[in-house]
Structure 1
Amino acid sequence: MHRPTAPDRQPGRPPRHTPPGGPPPETVDPAVLTALLARHGWRRSGAAAGTYSRWTPPDGAAVPARGRPARTSLLVPESRAYPDSTDLIAEALTALQHSAIPSAPDILTALRTPLDEIHWQRDTPDPDAPAAAWAAQEQLRSGARALLLAAALAARGRAGYHGARHRRHAEAALDRLLAGTAAGGRELTTFLPVGTSAAPGPDDGRLITTTLLRALCATRDATDHQRATGGCEAFEPAVEAGVCQELTEAIGKLVRGSGGIRITLHWAPAAGPPDGFAARPAPVEFTPGDLPVLREAGARYIRDEPPVTVRLTAVVLRMRREAQSGPGAVRLKVLAGADVPQIRAVLDEDDYRIAGHAHLVGLPVRMSGRLESKGGFRRLTGARDVMPVRVEDGERDRLLKSLHENLDFFGEACGGD
């Protein structure tokens, strides 16, 4: 039934109220709002198709403070073709803003910007104490973040074991991550913003989401294969789908101490599904019975990941050797040539002396070697060809200032020289 325009609201007039914390009503697509309401279990009723639709909360939704069934009801236009559509959307947003329905904040969050949603359901018993509930929430949140970090690492480059490589960039990509409440440590919703570029980069939320979905499905298939046949060969090609040691470890973290984990992905309604993906991806589940396979796969990925030959530029942070002459160990801050923040290396006597001199005059050094997977690609073996690198005066002054602030670390830098 068509709702007449109220006397104090003329067609085309801006809405009188924008809900605090909600998106501007004029920017909300009614189709996106109704898709989000349906996704979160709201029921459509009592309206003729093509005009308006009325939505009521899911069965069982209650106002926590009173424990009574919620009476929130939203009237949403089917499109913006009707004169009072903006006012009706404003009223719906205001009702959601003041609603105690658990899904209301999630709906408002998804309306502010296109967001892919990941729903995490962890099968755990009801906690018998507040401390247990807090611990369960922490385990769910940290496990979900670890899994998303593994996907962000895989989005930057495929590897069976990433270690410290790309970690700074992957963690920075998750800074835009939004998370909902973890009710009792059993349910959590995370939101990843969808970029607007035609070719998303490795920091785009949509690329992280699609990488995660591919990797989870490949892990599920490889795990089923190994449990059925005893063969581990399915985990080798799974690396190209984004499976890695970090991902198998994160899944194990979520599953341990529970009856299983269920991960469901929903695409942002405003963006739609990406090419090659189902509109409604099937949930992916893991159970405690998968843990031995996941542990074995993770250990194999670490063992089989080859060292990486690099030629890097770095700043000396620390120097240490047992005697006043001979080889010594250095800790380096990597500036270029390797996707790790810091590494350790053992230099022979001549290279150690060159590194010490370069550091004392505020210059970085360049060297070659191999990053070893043991220790997370934080160690350079076979270091050689150490030489100072000339930098601009401003950068050199900054490096010297850093040296003077950390003089206690370099008491042995000139030992024996």
Structure 2
Amino acid sequence: MHRDRDRGRVPRPDGPAPRPDEVDPAVLGALLARHGWRRRGGARGRYARWTPPGELPGTSLLVPERRDFPDSVDLLGEALLALARSAAPSAREVLTGLAVPSDEIRWWREAPESQGGTAAWPAQERLRAAARATLLAGALAARGRAGYYGARHRRAAEASLERVLTGPAGAVTGGHQLTVFVPVEDGRATTATLLRALYALRDAVDYQRATGGMEAFDAAVAAGVSRELTEAVVALVQGAEGARMALEWSPAAGPPPGFSTRPAPVEFTPGDLPGLREAGARYVRDEPSVPVRVTGAVVRLGRAGPGGPGTVRLRVLAGADVARLRIVLDEDDYRIAGHAHLVGLPIRVSGRLESRGGFRRLSGAGDVAPVRVDDAERDRLLKSLQENLDFFEEACGEEACGEEAPGET
């Protein structure tokens, strides 16, 4: 294969390819050191030779320490090509960190070994699910503090995790270790909030175990601790001998203000589970309802007979950080909602968003009124109505129509 062609682009079929002329040698060196590569000499201030962790033969990188040498781009291209071809698991993580400046979060789950390694796949799946739940809790807290979010902020929080990348798992780590790369550009608020919340959660658990008191969990909400975070940590620790999480800042971006350069890892053990579960239940019980005035499109109606109160489901357009709401309306307000639905208009309704059911229900609903929209939006809503006529269920019983759909939020 032609050397000059190779130098311009690193073959990375499974992810982004960093370009040699965009790579900072200092960042590459920091990532190599972070992932266990060893410096084996080289001219100080000019070049460094790196070898991978372990005993893998045949891989050696010559990395310039600055980009102002005549052959710096050539050497960086050769180093990136060697990383792309390397059998070292850490090579992919180094390339990922170069291509997308990211904060790295590592999870370790110390689960008992099973005979024949048959638990590696379930262990990996459990670790991935717990890691995602932990990140989601951090993303929720970055959007506002609450002891229990339920469906609130969930769409935005989940969307913010779409660019998160994962490192090697499975056979490489036995299913007990996972690395996640959170892009600095749109994920730094999540990583910083999550780290602060994990420290606060660790302190609250220690206080509860030492004194039996739960007050520290109440104070920890201001740092980002929530029911969602306690559940994620319970899922991580349950069935294991312990779990640990560590965060390392992107060497290209450095730490955010107020944080140390090398944050200490956070560990949890099975002895922490009773306090975590009690705190989670406490957060759900104590989270207050929220007064709101919601604008939404009616997507489903139902009541027991031709008259009386009925149940309405709204696709929320504004006024609440949830996707859908279930509302019980009296006869007059129900009729207004039905008429608005038929002519393709959203409605506006006041009430209290209840924590019971995950903030998916509006209690004390009233003051229902149709909302005027422009012609294009009205046509879109009418088209949606025509495509979903089965949702308009005046004849069905409230019991059936009011039932929550699987997976609905």
TM-score, normalization by structure 2: 0.92
Give, as a single letter, the amino acid of the residue that structure 2 aligns with 1:234.
A
Q: Distance in 2 between matches of 1:36 and 1:237?
A: 36
Tell me, which stretches of 5 or more residues in structure 2 are unaligned?
Answer: 398-409
Matched, 1:20 2:15: no
Q: Deviations over 1:377-417 (max 9, x none)?
A: 000000000011111111111111111111122130799xx
Q: Which moved more, 1:240-249 or 1:84-93?
A: 84-93
Q: Distance in 2 between matches of 1:17 and 1:245?
A: 48
Matched, 1:273 2:286: no
Query: 1:368 maps to which residue?
Result: 350
Query: 1:91 maps to which residue?
Result: 78
Matched, 1:116 2:85: no
Give, as a single letter, the amino acid of the residue that structure 2 aligns with 1:94.
L
Q: Distance in 2 between matches of 1:406 and 1:84?
A: 64
Higher helix share: 2
Size of the aligned set, in residue pairs, is 389
Q: Is the 8 A contact 1:14 1:87 kept in 2?
A: no
Compared CA separation, residues 244 and 81, structure 1 to 2 (3 A)? same
Q: Distance in 2 between matches of 1:169 and 1:233?
A: 30
Q: Distance in 2 between matches of 1:405 and 1:116?
A: 44
Q: Distance in 2 between matches of 1:349 and 1:168?
A: 32
Query: 1:35 maps to which residue?
Result: 30
RMSD: 1.8
Q: Distance in 2 between matches of 1:53 and 1:279?
A: 23
Q: How does 1:147-162 map to 2 (within 5 A)?
A: 147-162=134-149
Query: 2:313 maps to which residue?
Result: 331
Which secondary structure does the structure 2 equivalent of 1:275 belong to?
coil
Q: 1:48: Cα distance to partner?
A: 2.9
Query: 1:4 maps to which residue?
Result: none
Q: 1:47: Cα distance to partner?
A: 1.8
Instruction: Calculate percent identity across the aligned residue pairs.
Output: 68
Q: Deviations over 1:57-92 (max 9, x none)?
A: 11x35xxxxxxx333111111111321111111111
Compared CA separation, residues 317 and 15, structure 1 to 2 (3 A)? closer
Q: Distance in 2 between matches of 1:247 and 1:267?
A: 21
Q: Is the 8 A contact 2:305 2:395 kept in 1?
A: no
Q: How does 1:256-405 map to 2 (within 5 A)?
A: 256-405=238-387
Q: Deviations over 1:248-279 (max 9, x none)?
A: 00000011111111111110001111111010
Q: Is the 8 A contact 1:42 1:55 kept in 2?
A: yes
TM-score, normalization by structure 1: 0.90
Q: 1:116: Cα distance to partner?
A: 0.5
Compared CA separation, residues 414 and 285, structure 1 to 2 (3 A)? closer
Which secondary structure does the structure 2 equivalent of 1:75 belong to?
strand
Q: How does 1:172-251 map to 2 (within 5 A)?
A: 172-182=159-169, 183-195=173-185, 204-251=186-233
Which secondary structure does the structure 2 equivalent of 1:312 belong to?
strand
Q: Which moved more, 1:16-25 or 1:401-410?
A: 16-25
